[in-house]
Structure 1
Amino acid sequence: MSLIEWTRLPGETVEDAVAMLLCSENFEATQVRPGRGDGGIDVFVPTAPNFSGRDVYQVKRYAENLNSSQQRKIRRSLNQVVETAKKQGWTITSWWLVLPLNPTPGNIAWFAKMTKELPFKTHWVGLNRIEFLAASHPQVVDYYLRDGRARLQEQTDRLVGLLSGRHDRSKGDPMAPIDIIDDVRDVYRLINQYDPFYRYELSLTAEPPSQSIAESSPPGLVAVAGYGSNDGWVNVSIIARSLAATIEKPVTGHFTVSIQGDDSALSDFRKFVEYGTPVALPAGFAKVKLDLPGGLGGHEMDGLLRLSPATSGLENVTERELIIAMLTPESRPLAELELSLMEVTEGIEGGRRTVWIDSPGFVEIEMLSKKYPEITLNFKISVDVGGKRPDDIVSSLEFLANLHGSNIMGLAQAFGPRKFTVGTIDSEREQDPDFSRFAKLAKAIRSLQKHTSDRLLFPRVFTGEQALAILEADRIMSGESVTATWSGFKVDRDPSSDPSEWVKFEVGDEAELRLIRDINFELDGQTYVVGKQAALMRGVVSEVTAESVRFEPLDKEDQATLVRFDGEADTGRVHSRRVDEK
């Protein structure tokens, strides 16, 4: 025997109830209201971004064996869905016929013949599946098919009885948290038993509800109502059981805003109106009244008001990457960044706002436009280079190093030839020397990474001397020569070698010297060796003994030339010869 007498119910009631059962089973399901523009769709579930792919559910009221007229109506609805998808440019990933009727062999043959040429999967959802959904979501059945008001009154009576007092606690016994566990659980069960559209979650806090409650709640949160005082707060999170619930039973209300004496708050609110920029107005600037589900709300509130657009707008955007470049006044590229789209909003007055961010998260750009191509760019810069991979941050640092009033800015798509739409930068914006230094250092570390298997990361702390050592190491490893001052040093003769092979130095002789050394530098307390260098010097002999020779610079201005050395000589090896030696 069926749980529900489907054949005795009005057809529209059957279709509404079954559609809501489908939506309750899948949160992302969307119910399309009947009408000329429904395209033969009762419910659909998106299967691809921007609703470009959809599972389509066609709900029919038929609860007895199909006649030829009903079969024609089903076929007409199917054809309408196919034509709608073609016209609107989306793909049907599957089509489901949903009705409170299990198919007969004849129905199966007819259905197979009707759908055999279709390029997508088709399914018959019959009575058994609908009965299962009804058993899983009794609040939907109660609301649409039975006397929901009677059940609601029963629920209220039980709740009053529950709260009227316990019978197993002796007078005078102290209250402990464990004493109310069962009661609170019963309250939660009762308040969520019969509402087919929303469910309610309770929390008890010392402070009024904060943004963290919204951030930690599951999908579908529409509001958090807080009731309390300094003695404590009871917070009720109102959560839609499905997206269709917000359409069938939307949250309504109104608010009034009056901002005086705060230019910053007024400017932020104007950006919300013009571009949809989220705004938080301090207490005293707004009064709100909401008619919330569950009898909540209904009175005017004065407090912090956060306003955000209903949707992000990302679902309608296909290109989510953008190139922004710094250019010379002659439009020669200096540095460029690839940005990713993070947020899209639109204001009541038609302005559009997009928020873009670079890969390391250093640069966030807010673009505001009311009349294209006029665009205002607002930069939010937050640089934390310590511990980052140089590859990931070089482009951002070079961009920031060139972000000043002497240059211009260009925007281009992320693929194909670079065709920049250019704009000016605030002429008073000066170059930030820190970004220039960081960019040079990151490029040097990135280059040096090719010469060591140790992972090189941008240092969290470094001195100017350490930075110069890194830059110098990169120049030498890249094939450049570097000059440096040097002071006298003593070279010990090799006692194992033949003395006849030693250079016959005398005090005052001029000599050419080559000293082999490691190319090393320090990052966060660890020393890295990336190669060898030869220090080429010209000096004078200041002391000669049987065991050693000491060399000094010819004069104070005499410098050593440092070059990359790829030979076999060991580090510390000194090669020398007299200048007059042929």
Structure 2
Amino acid sequence: MEWTRQSGDEVEAAVGMLLCSQFPNAVRVRPSQGDGGIDIFVPGEAGWGKERAVWQVKKYSKNLTSSQKRKIERSFKRVVEASEAEGWRITEWHLIMPLDLTTQNLGWLDTYLGEREFSCETHGLLLCDTLAADYPNVIDYYMRDGKERLQANLDKLTSVLSGRKNRKSGEPLVAADVYGDLASIYNALNACDPFYKYWYEVADEPPAAEKMMGEENLVAAHALCQDGVWITVKVLARMLAAYTERPTTWNLRFAIPKSDEELLKQFEKFVDYGAPVSMPAGTVTGSLNLPGGLGGDLDRASIEVIAAPRDSQSDDDLLLIGIIAPDSDAVLASTRMRRTEFSSGEVGNRTVLADEASLFTIEMLFRDGDVAGSVDCTMHLGVSFQLRNRRPAEVADGLNVLAEFHTPNRLAFGNAYGPPDYGIFGPIPTQPNDDRDMWAPICRALALIQEHTTFQIRMPAEMERDEALGILDAAKLLSGEPTTGTASGQSTITHTAATRITPQLERISDFLVIRDLGISLGGEEITIGKKLSIYRGQYVEIGEQQSKIEVSGNAITLRYTGDLEVGRTFARYVDAEGASSEVQ
């Protein structure tokens, strides 16, 4: 590559995009100050906001002059000062230009840089030529207009589409025959464009937008039906810089039926805050300018704008939300949430937070307030979850937050790790909801029960009232609290050789019975220990081995951790004044 024959701007643009091709998540910036060059920032493992590797691109291809050296010094000083002012750390610093520095120049640079907390490296002609060989489409695009390579690949594509030479007349086509052609078409489509790559699919049905939402770097999908077959071409960005260097544009007109108030609200939120919107067929006309010659005029079309998934898992997007009591600093519930969407519109910004268990989202719409310097925020709680087969401990925090997410409680945000240090955001406008609130205490109870059994407990999709009460009582016993209630009906007891009193009909007695402590969940009976129940009753039928008693009045139950076997019964008579006598 003969760099000296190119203009300085062409050299800087080409080398900058070569680096963006090498580091697809890099961000390309041309500083506004007069030291020239281009900065390429590559985010570190901790995320863009905390650390970056810096590549400073210069166009110099001949021996450095004193003026050029001063510009390099100013560029380095500027980026160091920017990192300190903005609160991010430089992990590496690189100077790159299509020029191999002399020993004298290297000595000057080493002296100026001195000792730094980050590594400093210079790269010359060798790296520039290596990158140019690795990404020839960038060189074609910036320095040769891409004409030579484009024409070569069009010729290759034409030869593929013209037909296979070795096929005999009448020979049927089989699936394996097209592998080579499909690969050739794919390679020809993707050989020329340095910014975007193209995937294609052929199917009987149109593509489903929701299935494409998580595809990394997807910019657009263009689908058309030809001869009953749907052909979809997906456009994917090769690098972040593609969005600024070669953006996609569109000119659309929307026609919303007057009777569709819900669609109007959705569209207004799209315009005001950049929220997703789904426009049905017949409501969209205009034109799309997409890469690869795709797009074109639209007539009575449909369009769906979806939120771009955030591929960053930076801790900057993770925070703790707390539900604070209205009249104190007591934290009623808390859970970690991650920012999953961010968009902007003509009026303000939109942020969507999702809890780690994927139970709910909080959409927050921000706009300038009426008072100068103030910000107004509107919150929307979105609840959509399936609890079936989820582990209780996994969803307990989120369900607790949902149960307390109502007026007059307050919402607060805090640190995801370490001391929360909550800052009150404001009151919660949502009203209580019994349908979703019922699951929080049940989930807490099941999480506690799981600590006392090796049986793997999973949340059910639904639950009967008696099942729920039994679970809540079992958790209460396991936590050391007694349960009370009214006892009624008949019960059978078995006599043993250790019986010390003779049962007497209709004589009032206090009974203590050792029983299994268990719950019913999803049609299964799960034993988690033992309990003892104390209640009052009288014998109504006496036998040699077994007797029946009529239970009445109040009963108290406690957790039992002793060695006595399940079914063991103790009794004592109660006289008219309520005093007890012999024990069985």
1:528-556 residue CA offsets vs partner (Å, 9 max, x unmatched)? 333433333444456667x4574634xx7
Contact 2:333 2:404 (C-alpha < 8 Å) held by counterparts: no
Question: Aligned equivalents of 1:86 and 1:216: distance in 2?
Answer: 35
Q: Residue type matched to 1:167 in 2?
A: K
Distance 1:573 1:38, change over 3 A: farther
Q: Specify the alignment match of 1:133 in structure 2.
A: 131
Calculate the TM-score normalised by the size of structure 2: 0.83
Question: Aligned equivalents of 1:216 and 1:315: distance in 2?
Answer: 14
Distance 1:474 1:313, change over 3 A: closer
Distance 1:179 1:123, change over 3 A: same
Q: Specify the alignment match of 2:304 in structure 1.
A: 306
Q: Specify the alignment match of 1:570 in structure 2.
A: 565
Shift of 1:471: 3.1
Question: Aligned equivalents of 2:309 and 2:477: distance in 1?
Answer: 55
1:496-548 residue CA offsets vs partner (Å, 9 max, x unmatched)? x6xxx833555565544332222222223443333433333444456667x45
Identity of aligned residues (%): 34
Superposed CA RMSD? 3.6
Shift of 1:158: 4.0
Q: Specify the alignment match of 1:32 in structure 2.
A: 29
Q: Which entry has the higher C-alpha Rg, 1 or 2? A: 1
Structure 1 residue 492 and structure 2 residue 495: aligned? yes
Q: Residue type matched to 1:390 in 2?
A: P
Q: Residue type matched to 2:495 in 1?
A: D
Q: Specify the alignment match of 2:190 in structure 1.
A: 192
Q: Specify the alignment match of 2:410 in structure 1.
A: 410
Structure 1 residue 444 and structure 2 residue 441: aligned? no
Question: Aligned equivalents of 2:571 and 2:313: distance in 1?
Answer: 73
1:116-165 residue CA offsets vs partner (Å, 9 max, x unmatched)? 22332111112222221111111222233336324433433443344334
Q: Specify the alignment match of 1:355 in structure 2.
A: 352
Shift of 1:49: 2.7
Q: Residue type matched to 2:482 in 1?
A: E
1:191-237 residue CA offsets vs partner (Å, 9 max, x unmatched)? 32233333322322333444267446442x32223343343233322
Contact 1:343 1:356 (C-alpha < 8 Å) held by counterparts: yes
Range that drifts further, 148-157 or 113-122: 148-157
Equivalent residue in structure 1 for 2:481, among 470, 479, 482: 479
Q: Specify the alignment match of 1:422 in structure 2.
A: 427
Shift of 1:283: 1.3
Distance 1:32 1:340, change over 3 A: same
Find the residue that maps to 2:198 and give its secondary structure.
strand
Task: Name the count of aligned residue pairs.
Answer: 563
Find the residue that maps to 2:14 and give its secondary structure.
helix
Q: Specify the alignment match of 2:242 in structure 1.
A: 245
Q: Specify the alignment match of 1:514 in structure 2.
A: 512
Distance 1:138 1:34, change over 3 A: same
Contact 1:64 1:101 (C-alpha < 8 Å) held by counterparts: yes
1:230-258 residue CA offsets vs partner (Å, 9 max, x unmatched)? 43233322233322233222222311112
Find the residue that maps to 2:12 and give its secondary structure.
helix
Q: Which 5+ residue runs of structure 1 have no aligned equivalent? A: none
Question: Aligned equivalents of 1:223 and 1:549: distance in 2?
Answer: 78
Distance 1:147 1:564, change over 3 A: closer
Shift of 1:270: 0.7
Structure 1 residue 164 and structure 2 residue 162: aligned? yes
Contact 1:535 1:561 (C-alpha < 8 Å) held by counterparts: yes
Q: Specify the alignment match of 1:366 in structure 2.
A: 363
Shift of 1:18: 1.6
1:418-472 residue CA offsets vs partner (Å, 9 max, x unmatched)? 74622544xxx6752x445433433433444454454444344544333333333
Contact 2:532 2:559 (C-alpha < 8 Å) held by counterparts: yes
1:317-375 residue CA offsets vs partner (Å, 9 max, x unmatched)? 957435353857x6797943436243444443323322233343333232334336544
Question: Aligned equivalents of 2:276 and 2:375: distance in 1?
Answer: 23
Contact 1:274 1:351 (C-alpha < 8 Å) held by counterparts: yes
Find the residue that maps to 1:49 and give its secondary structure.
coil
Shift of 1:67: 4.6
Question: Aligned equivalents of 2:533 and 2:315: distance in 1?
Answer: 59
Range that drifts further, 269-278 or 48-57: 48-57
Map residues 257-296 of structure 1 onto 2, 5 A cutoff.
257-261=254-258, 262-296=260-294
Q: Residue type matched to 2:557 in 1?
A: L
Question: Aligned equivalents of 1:364 and 1:462: distance in 2?
Answer: 25
Q: Residue type matched to 1:389 in 2?
A: R
Q: Which 5+ residue runs of structure 2 have no aligned equivalent? A: 415-419, 576-580
Question: Aligned equivalents of 1:238 and 1:420: distance in 2?
Answer: 40
Identify, as 1 or 2, the structure richer in strand.
Answer: 2
Contact 1:476 1:482 (C-alpha < 8 Å) held by counterparts: no
Calculate the TM-score normalised by the size of structure 1: 0.83
